[in-house]
Structure 1
């Protein structure tokens, strides 16, 4: 996924990560494959803006808090959150991809680790 106005300096790649890699991407756009655990929705009259959150389990088993986008349409237990890393355990959702009810999280995590392996990373992404 890329964001921007067609201007190459405004485009940003969204790297696939697990919970252990979030600290390396503070302020960056990422893709986090995960399983939904708990959703907390505040009432519409709440004074807290962007207070709707969800706890997810990333592919490496770590728990992450996701600030939901207002138009989030989560229908499946497994999703891919596309968003900006706020801190080591929090992502602010920009979009969401529903990924069904059966996803091999070990395979997802192994793939993420291969993507970030220095032997391959520069060949694929630089």
Structure 2
């Protein structure tokens, strides 16, 4: 698989392949509590994002950088707030293309 120093973009379908690894999750914020955010991934799946302190989320569309805890949970390390709406369908197409076995090792090695 990819280098330990990379953080590939993933959707909810690819999350299980990266347990224990850093990833980037482009997403739409659905709900927020004091310690977690539920987001919708580009493929429509829901992911729980956990955090300590302030979430740092100020936009509806964000990219979460964090460590995959399990198949449905990411522990937030950083957040990128998007000022414009994210084209979820186009982003999902790019994520699927990046993870295509024909390209993945070239992109992430």
Instruction: Determine if the TM-score, normalized by the shorter chain, exceeds 0.5.
Output: yes
1:31-110 aligned within 5 A: 31-41=24-34, 52-110=35-93
Please give the alpha-carbon distance, in whole angstroms, between the structure 2 residues aligned to 1:69 and 1:83. Answer: 12
* Cα shift at 1:125: 2.0
Which whole-Å CA distance do the structure 2 matches of 1:14 and 1:125 have between them?
Answer: 9
Tell me the distance in 2 between the aligned counterparts of 1:64 and 1:72: 15
Q: Which consecutive aligned stretches of 4+ in structure 1 deviate over 6 angstroms post-superposition?
A: none
Higher helix share: 1
Per-residue CA shift, 1:58-90, capped at 9, x if unaligned?
000000000024243211100000000000000
Residue 104 of structure 2: aligned partner: 121
1: distance between equivalents of 2:107 and 2:46?
A: 28
Between structure 1 and structure 2, the one with the greater Rg is: 1
Give the TM-score normalised by the residue count of structure 2.
Answer: 0.91
* Superposition TM-score, scaled by structure 1 size: 0.80
